[in-house]
């Protein structure tokens, strides 16, 4: 009798399975197609273009209190939309609401023709031209520069080479000390024959990046995430959030071959940046050249860029005025979550206000 | 050097094609060696995944020997299953043995694609079309030209500012 009872399924469990099945069938009727989702949330204009790179200038949402504009150098992986993914979780919108003038660098989608673009082109070409454009337009000598993830590496190199143009430097989960990085991504990066890869296939294809994403918590991300999605299929706000992030995740541009080669070799394999041995465009990159106020943000649960990889920047720069903030979240959670809205952004906004020219 | 009978049968442009056909055969033979290496690495890759899966499942079985049949316990079983599998697979992906094999797997795949590329190049050459190397040279030249233009533009801008 006991045996019989223990093998019988709980009716609630059966109900749950049936509901889950129904939700899966109903999903196409309830959920918009990915193409129907518009990831452009906050109003902006394209202020400057060069090749495939665009500099976006966001429309103010309040009276500007801070004269020093902020330029965000987004990462090379995925696109800038994550920083403006949803009105309630928008990094950009929060900063605008704090009276900050925000620009964003969209690196665009490189094609085979761009395979010879290297770090020098990105740092001393595109980013430098964007900074010069903003300095002219805003009539300021220098700007605040924020770099996120690999954009943090580009911004770090830029700030070292052009310190006079950067008033404040914000490094958000920057990739700095590749040897200390404990993520699975760095393990793959360390073992790849990057010369052979670039020589054979040119630009780094998005598919390779998707493989890297797939090995990050594969069961949580591959099972639980989608189970929760189908469970919440009738919750409009949940579905909207989910699809926005999914669409963002599934849209990563190729990385120019030469740039990818230099990034993997110099950062992950030879770890030149933190050792003060890196050269870009024939110029030596010394982190000691970074002497302006710096605000470094890292997340303890970051499984793409581990805190051990980002934090050495705080200790290596020549700045006297430096702040390190460690948040109890992950790589994306730091920039697009309720925590980022309630904690990360107010702290950054306050810091920028204290270190910028006011109107 | 082609043999005389071959020279007799392949005259004019066809002579060029027969020489190229030999290159394709050589590439195919060389690709076989790399295919063996690729298969070895791919087998090792799946073996590592399978071993990790089996070990993780053993851990789950030790912790929860039976799949519960009520809602609450089923959810906690699922949580434990996901946590153990994520931990074990992350440990694998983070290991030297995985990284090393993955690196060699990708390298052997790239060798195979290189052979394919060489074969396509031969065919493109036969059809009097530019091959990858030639297109790469154009891309390189374009890149250098873009750099020069950009440098000249900034020099012009600077001299204009100075003259004001």
- Cα angle value A188/A189/A195 (rounded, 5°): 120
ipTM: 0.83
* 3 state SS of B131: coil
Q: Map out the domains of chain B as residue ranges.
A: 11-129, 131-164
Residues 48 through 87 of chain A touching chain B, CB cutoff 8 Å: 51
* pLDDT for residue B18: 72
Mutation target vs B (from A5, A9, A11, A13; most B CBs, 10 A cutoff)? A13
Task: Give the model confidence (pLDDT) of B51-95 as tens digits.
Answer: 999 999 999 999 988 888 787 888 889 999 999 999 999 999 999
Distance between CA A83 and CA B153 in Å, rounded?
Answer: 32
What pLDDT score does A1 carry? 38
pLDDT > 90 fraction of chain B, expressed in percent and rounded: 59
CATH topology of domain A34-355: Rossmann fold (3.40.50)
Higher pLDDT, A48 or B23: A48
B/e letters for A68-95, b = 16+ CB within 10 Å, e = fewer, are bbbbbbbbbbbbbbbbbbbeebbbbbbb
Residue of B nearest to A227 (CA): B78
Chain A, chain B: beta-carbon pairs less than 8 Å apart: 84
Smallest Cα distance from A177 to chain B, Å? 17
Q: How confident is the model at residue A3 (pLDDT cuts 50, 70, 90)?
A: very low
Give the nearest partner residue to A16 out of B71, B82, B94, using CB atoms: B71
At residue A8, does pLDDT exceed 60?
yes
Question: Out of B100, B113, B147, whose CB is closest to A191?
Answer: B100
pLDDT of residue A5: 47
Pairwise CB contact (< 8 Å): A220 & B82: yes
Between CA A13 and CA A331 the distance in angstroms is 35
Chain B closest-CA separation from residue A39 CA (Å): 30
Q: Taking residues B19-34, what's their average pLDDT?
A: 87
Q: How confident is the model at residue A9 (pLDDT cuts 50, 70, 90)?
A: confident
DSSP structural state of residue A117: -
**Residue A291 CB: number of other CB atoms within 10 A?**
17
- Is A200 in the B-facing interface, judged by CB distances under 8 Å? yes
pLDDT-based confidence at B19, cuts 50/70/90? confident
Closest Cβ–Cβ partner in A125, A187, A196 for B99 = A187
> Which phi-psi region, left, alpha or beta, contains residue B53 (left: φ > 0; alpha: ψ -120 to 50)?
alpha
Which pLDDT tens digit goes with each residue over A117-165?
A: 999 999 999 999 999 999 999 999 999 999 999 999 999 999 999 999 9
Residue A354 is predicted with a pLDDT of 95
List pLDDT tens digits, range B103-113. Answer: 999 999 999 99
Backbone torsions φ then ψ of A124, nearest 5 degrees: -85, -10
Which residues of A belong to the active site?
Answer: 149, 302, 331
Rounded CA separation B27/B10 (Å): 21
List chain A residues with CB under 8 Å of B87. none
Q: What is the pLDDT of residue A305?
A: 95
Task: Give Cα B133 to chain centroid, integer Å.
Answer: 18
Q: Which of A12, A192, A224 shows the shortest C-beta gap to B82?
A: A224
pLDDT at A45 over 60: yes
- Sorted by where each begins, the domain ranges of chain A are 34-355
What is the helix (H) or strand (E) element at residue A98, kind and residue range?
A: none
Contact partners, residue A270, CB within 8 Å, separation at least 6? A277
A143-181: b or e for each residue (b if 16 or more CB lie within 10 Å)? bbbbbbbbbbbbbbbbbbbbbebbbbbbbbbbbbbbbbb
């Amino acid at each position: 009798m006991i045996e019989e009872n223990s093998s019988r399924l709980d009716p609630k469990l059966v109900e749950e399975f049936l509901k889950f099945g129904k939700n899966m069938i109903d999903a196409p009727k309830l959920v918009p197609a990915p193409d129907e989702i518009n990831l452009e949330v906050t109003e902006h204009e394209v202020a400057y273009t060069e090749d495939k790179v665009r500099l976006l200038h966001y429309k103010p949402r309040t009276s500007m209190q801070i004269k020093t504009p902020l330029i965000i150098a987004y990462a090379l992986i995925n696109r800038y939309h994550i920083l403006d993914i949803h009105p309630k979780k928008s990094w950009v919108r929060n900063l605008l609401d704090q009276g900050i003038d925000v620009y964003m660098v969209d690196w665009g989608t490189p094609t085979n023709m761009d395979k010879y673009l290297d770090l020098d082109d990105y740092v001393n070409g595109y980013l430098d031209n964007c900074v010069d454009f903003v300095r002219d337009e805003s009539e300021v000598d220098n700007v605040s520069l924020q770099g996120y993830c690999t954009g943090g590496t580009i911004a770090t190199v830029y700030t070292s080479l052009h310190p006079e143009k950067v008033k404040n430097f914000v490094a958000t989960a920057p990739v700095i000390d590749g040897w200390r990085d404990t993520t699975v991504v760095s393990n793959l990066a360390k073992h790849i024959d990057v010369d052979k890869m670039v020589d054979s296939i040119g630009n780094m294809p998005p598919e390779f990046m998707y493989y890297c994403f797939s090995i990050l918590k594969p069961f949580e991300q591959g099972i639980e995430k989608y189970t929760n999605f189908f469970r919440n299929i009738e919750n409009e706000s949940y579905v909207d959030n989910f699809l926005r992030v999914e669409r963002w995740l599934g849209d990563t541009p190729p990385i120019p071959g030469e740039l990818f080669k230099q990034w993997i070799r110099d950062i992950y394999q030879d770890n030149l940046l933190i050792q003060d041995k890196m050269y870009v465009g024939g110029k030596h990159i010394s982190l000691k050249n970074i002497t302006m106020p710096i605000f470094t943000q890292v997340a303890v649960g970051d499984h793409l860029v581990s805190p051990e990889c980002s934090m050495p920047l705080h200790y290596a720069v020549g700045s006297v005025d430096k702040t390190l903030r460690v948040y109890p979240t992950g790589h994306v959670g730091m920039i697009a979550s309720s925590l980022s809205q309630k904690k990360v952004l107010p702290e950054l906004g306050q810091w920028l206000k204290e270190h910028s020219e006011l109107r | 050097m082609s043999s005389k009978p071959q020279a007799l049968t392949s005259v004019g442009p066809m002579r060029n094609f027969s020489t190229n056909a030999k290159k394709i055969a050589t590439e195919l033979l060389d690709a076989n060696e790399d295919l063996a290496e690729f298969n070895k690495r791919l087998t090792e890759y799946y073996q590592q995944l399978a071993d990790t899966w089996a070990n993780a499942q053993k851990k789950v079985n030790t912790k929860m020997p039976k799949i519960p049949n009520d809602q609450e316990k089923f959810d906690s079983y699922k949580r434990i299953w996901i946590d153990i599998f994520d931990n074990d697979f992350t440990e694998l992906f983070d290991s030297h043995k995985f990284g090393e094999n993955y690196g060699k797997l990708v390298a052997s795949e790239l060798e195979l694609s290189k052979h394919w590329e060489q074969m396509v190049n031969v065919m493109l050459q036969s059809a009097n079309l530019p091959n990858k190397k030639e297109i790469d040279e154009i891309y390189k030249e374009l890149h250098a030209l873009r750099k020069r233009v950009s440098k000249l533009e900034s020099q012009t801008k600077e001299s204009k500012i100075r003259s004001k």
